[in-house]
Amino acid sequence: MEDTTLNNLLQTILETSFTQMQALARLRILKETLMAKLFTASLAPPINLTPSDKQWLDGLDVKFLDQFNHKNFSTLIELSEKEIKKMPTLTVVLPFELPEKEARETTNRLRNDYGKTFLIETKYDRSLIAGPALIWKGVYKDYSLRQKIEEKKEKLLQMFQSSKPQGPNPKELKNE
C-alpha cells in the first residue's frame, strides 16, 4: 500500500518537475501543506507560494492528498526525497538559452520518449557553436558542431589549403 502511495507521490511530483531542485522544491511545498493540514494548521507559518506552485497545488487531486495520514506522512516524504536524490540526471548542454516554452517542450518530449525515471538539467556552453552535448551517468557525449569540426579538422585544413582562390586577380584590378 505504501509502495503504491510512494509511486503516486513521485509520479505527481515528476509530472511537472524536471530538475532535482524543482522536484525537491515541490516536495517541500507538499510537505509544508500536509503538515498544516494534518497537524496544528492554526499555528503553522503561512506558506509562501509562487503562482505556478499555487496552481500545481490547487491542481492536486483530493484523493491524492487523502492518502497521507499522521502515520505514513513523514516516512513517505523521507523516502521520496531519497528516491529523488538517487534518480539519474540527464544534463543537456546547449550553445544558447532556450525560451521557457521551447525548454518545456523539449523536456516534455524527452520525458515522453524515454519515460519519467530521470531528471533533466540544462547547461549552456557557447563554444559548442550549434547542437547539444549530453552528459549521462558521468559520461560526456558531444554531438555539437564544435566536436564535428574537431573530428574533421585535418580534412578541413587540407580543403582550405588546396582550394584555389575565386574572383578577379587583384593585379588586374589595379591595372584597370
Residues that bind another protein (CB under 8 A): 91, 123, 135, 137-142, 147
Least Å distance, CB 82 to another protein, is: 12
Q: Quick one: 23 or 29, whose CB is closer to another protein?
A: 23
Q: In the bound complex, what is the minimum distance in angstroms from residue 90's beta carbon to another protein?
A: 13
Least Å from the CB of residue 150 to another protein: 8
Whole-angstrom distance, CA of residue 60 vs CA of residue 65: 8
Shortest gap between Cβ of 119 and another protein (angstroms)? 13
Report CA dihedral (64, 30, 85, 121) to the nearest 10 degrees.
100
Closer to another protein by CB, 30 or 128: give it: 128
Bridge partners of 124, per DSSP, are 94
* 139-to-30, 103, 127, 130 alpha-carbon distances in Å: 34, 23, 19, 20
C-alpha span between 84 and 56 (Å, rounded): 18
Closer to another protein at the Cβ: 114 or 124?
124
- For residue 3, the surrounding DSSP H or E stretch is helix 2-16
Minimum CB separation of residue 23 from another protein in Å reads: 16
Instruction: Report residue 151 as a C-alpha cell.
Output: 573530428
Closest CB to another protein among 29 and 128?
128
Which of 39/140 has CB closer to another protein? 140
